[in-house]
Structure 1
Amino acid sequence: MSSRPRVLVIAEPDPELPAPPLSLIPPDVDVVEVRGTPTGDQLAGAEVLYVWDHRFTDLAPVLRSADRLRWVHAASVGVNRLICPELVSRQVTLTNSRGVFDVPIAEWVLAAVLSFVKGFPHTLALQREHTWLYRTTGRLAGKRAAVIGTGSIGRAIADRMSRLDVEVTLVGRQESNAMTAVAAEVDILIAAAPLTAATTGLIDADVLAALGPGGFVVNVGRGPTVVEADLVEALRTGTIAGAALDVFEVEPLPADSPLWSMPGVLVSPHMSGDYVGFEVDMIGVFVDNLGRWLRGEQLHNIVDPECGYVRS
């Protein structure tokens, strides 16, 4: 039997996503690829668990069955599905892939906001009809935006928005209790926060009403941060002007959701951070941390299970 550390990789095939490039993991460890929940034999002797499958949610029973498991790494930024009491009780470290998606998601947000301000959906609709209709559009410069979430993604969004002369406010954990007041002072409300008890249902009817009829909502964090029924009603009644949504309460978004066909709404299938080659960069974060773990060094991107994210 090999004396090298054993790394389990949960990588259930997903036709929509690239497979993990496991060949990039150095040969210092034994890599065991797992489909679904690991068996007892697979867990025997395993010290590291790499959760590539974003649909995997059964971490608690795995931790209870794996005596030697001390580190779990998520191939994602959001880890709410993996948070469980066993992480603390069994002294297992959880890390995530923070940093991989910062710039791509910020670019997506900029594209969505600029498309809305410059009226691109209307322009494309007129183009399809071969209709020449002169009109004026808005300006992004001088707009005010609030970014909910002060992690690396939220900071990347705020940085790039500010470079286009947008007045940006970063909203952290403490300020989230005053979301109505925050929304009343901005034109664009961007959710880029992890899903926690504090952020669930954070953007509701009162917040949307405060944002006002010219307001635009962007959600690239987690679907339940926005009360979807309240958002649909706000869009239907003109309480706000539009929304760009990459995440939803239920995914895939049901075919009968009114969001699919509402004017001023962009529906994106949870892909704002994914770019050609992201799987290589993603596994690079794990490989870097694996080297640290083998050398007995401090890991990067350690998640605090009490709050559900990496404390900056």
Structure 2
Amino acid sequence: MNAVTESGKPVLTVLTGDDAPPDMTAVEQDAEVRYTDAAGLADALRGADALFMYQFLSTALPSAWHAADRLQWLHIAAAGVDPVMFPELRASDVVLTNARGVFDDSIAEYVLGQVLAFAKDMPTSLRLQDARTWRHRETERIGGASAVVVGTGPIGRAIARLLRAVGLRVSGAGRRARDDDPDFGTVHTTDRLAECVADADYVVAVAPLTDQTKNMFDGDAFAAMKPSARFVNVGRGELVVTDDLVAALRSGTIAGAALDVFDTEPLPADHPLWTMENVLISPHMSGDVVGWRRELVGVFADNFRRWRAGQELRNVVDKQLGYVPSGS
């Protein structure tokens, strides 16, 4: 695949948010770059050969899609591609790539941090510190505890490896069952989710959002967990039926939840999750470490060079599955 205009340069549209992408100089030398916000996306797409969705949470593309009259390639600066999985894109010949690989280790570290926060009761220590209250308590070991990681892509694998390294017993849940996985050991199929989570101390959701995974964590899934289990969501908020999660936390069906993603973002100020002492909330930042924006641009810039040279692109998404297949 090679895109060249009469000027010898392809037209690249870049959808930005409040901040412009850093380190775009090399790309700007080899393309006619149109920076735009959501309001101007349709105009910027006319005659464009490629689209870089640096503002990866934007939902502006479906309504602007009618103007994509020459688009060959779309790159989204995220691991999850659900914001662009609308029918017209799926049915088109446009190649879709993502930022797979950027967030693996940082999200794994976040998950380990939340596991430790629960086991060592860090939130209570902080509340007691604020109140200047000295209250001795006993905490839990994580060595020997069990975790099920639901989602066996690169991020899930990084989580499994790190949790194993500190002594947890880890298994996975994905599309295909197997007993000899190098990172998970045993992988169950997600259609047997209730069985997978029944004995887990920690259930980690990192599956991509697809028609099959939407609302997979509902009242039945939480009821299948142990009352002492903690739920960690670093995948997508729409994996969870939020009202069912709130009910499970209130009733003691599960012991706690660490949530980085929500079905409505920002989480409304009056949402009951904010005031639950057994809930840890972060604002969709589990993978966002110092330098992450440059890494995102670096992945795009590498693919841009490949695209210009007609070479195979990295991280090509199967638009019917909604993610990059394993081994790609």
For normalisation by structure 1, the TM-score amounts to 0.94
CA contact (8 A) 2:225 2:254 kept: yes
CA contact (8 A) 2:103 2:287 kept: yes
Letter aligned with residue 187 of structure 1 = D
Cα-Cα RMSD: 1.6
Whether 1:267 and 2:269 are equivalent positions in the alignment is no
Whether 1:236 and 2:241 are equivalent positions in the alignment is no
Letter aligned with residue 202 of structure 1 = M
List aligned pairs for 1:136-147, cutoff 5 A: 136-147=138-149
CA contact (8 A) 1:201 1:226 kept: yes
Q: Structure 1 residues 206, 44: closer, same or farther in 2, change over 3 A? A: closer
Task: Provide the rounded CA distance (Å) in 2 between the counterparts of 1:283 and 1:83.
Answer: 22
Candidates 196, 200, 203, aligned match of 2:214: 200
Deviation for aligned residue 1:279: 0.6
Letter aligned with residue 155 of structure 1 = R
Candidates 197, 218, 233, aligned match of 1:219: 233
CA contact (8 A) 1:220 1:246 kept: yes
1:24-44 Cα shifts (integer Å, max 9, x gaps)? 443111211012154665334
CA contact (8 A) 1:63 1:90 kept: no
Identity of matched residues, %: 47
Candidates 68, 81, 84, aligned match of 1:82: 84
Deviation for aligned residue 1:241: 0.7
Letter aligned with residue 249 of structure 1 = D
Q: Structure 2, unaligned stretches of length 5 or more? A: 1-5, 177-188
- Secondary structure of the corresponding residue to residue 294 of structure 2: helix
CA contact (8 A) 2:200 2:226 kept: no
Deviation for aligned residue 1:45: 3.1
1:45-102 Cα shifts (integer Å, max 9, x gaps)? 3111001113422334544322321000001111111012333443100111111111
Aligned structure 1 segments of 4 or more residues deviating by more than 4 angstroms? 37-41
Aligned partner of 1:121 in structure 2 is 123
CA contact (8 A) 2:205 2:232 kept: yes
Q: Work out the number of aligned pairs and report it.
A: 308
Deviation for aligned residue 1:209: 1.7
Q: Structure 1 residues 40, 158: closer, same or farther in 2, change over 3 A? A: closer
Task: Provide the rounded CA distance (Å) in 2 between the counterparts of 1:182 and 1:38.
Answer: 46
Task: Provide the rounded CA distance (Å) in 1 between the counterparts of 2:41 and 2:213.
Answer: 35
Task: Provide the rounded CA distance (Å) in 2 between the counterparts of 1:142 and 1:246.
Answer: 25
Task: Provide the rounded CA distance (Å) in 1 between the counterparts of 2:302 and 2:203.
Answer: 35
1:249-277 Cα shifts (integer Å, max 9, x gaps)? 11111111111011111011111111121
Aligned partner of 1:294 in structure 2 is 308
Deviation for aligned residue 1:216: 0.2
- Secondary structure of the corresponding residue to residue 252 of structure 1: coil
